[in-house]
Structure 1
Amino acid sequence: MQDRMYQIRSYFERHGFYVSSRFADKLGMRAKNVRLFFIYLSFATFGIGFAIYLTLAFLLKFKDMIYAKRTSVFDL
């Protein structure tokens, strides 16, 4: 049972745009606590927290597309 939960969790971590991890790094917190905050917020506000999460994921993905990290001058 725990192995199955780990597989589900790792799937969502790999394909979830790393929103929680990126905000946790920015805030100096653990990603688990940020995820729990979004879960509790979504239950408390009937889905508005999930909408915020998806909006932030879209904005972070959009920002990554615009500001590509180049390792060299020759990557232009």
Structure 2
Amino acid sequence: MLEKQAFGVCSSIADSAGWTVDRVRVYFVYLSLLTFGSPVIVYLFFAFWIHWKQYIQGRRPLQYL
């Protein structure tokens, strides 16, 4: 529930790769722990990209909180 409010990056990756959202989240957490948090930068980039793509396509971005 919180992830959908927090940009929806993991669910977008899971949908495009055909995986479950839980698997993507677990991989993200493990990768963050192993690389001392550097995937957070990639996560923020994807969050920006998803919302920019929605803006260009003319769809309204997700409303937070």
Which bracket does the TM-score occupy, shorter chain normalised? 0.7 to 0.9
> Which stretches in structure 2 are left out of the alignment for 5+ residues?
60-65
> Which stretches in structure 1 are left out of the alignment for 5+ residues?
1-9, 70-76
For residues 41-75 of structure 1, give each alpha carbon's deviation from its aligned partner in whole angstroms, at most 9, with x where no partner exists: 11111111111111111111111111125xxxxxx
Residue 34 of structure 1: aligned partner: 24
Tell me how many residue pairs correspond in the alignment.
59
Task: Determine what percentage of the aligned residue pairs are the same residue.
Answer: 37
| Residue type at the aligned position of 1:27 | A
TM-score (norm 2): 0.80
Higher relative contact order (CA 8 A, sep 6+): 2
Q: CA RMSD in A?
A: 1.2
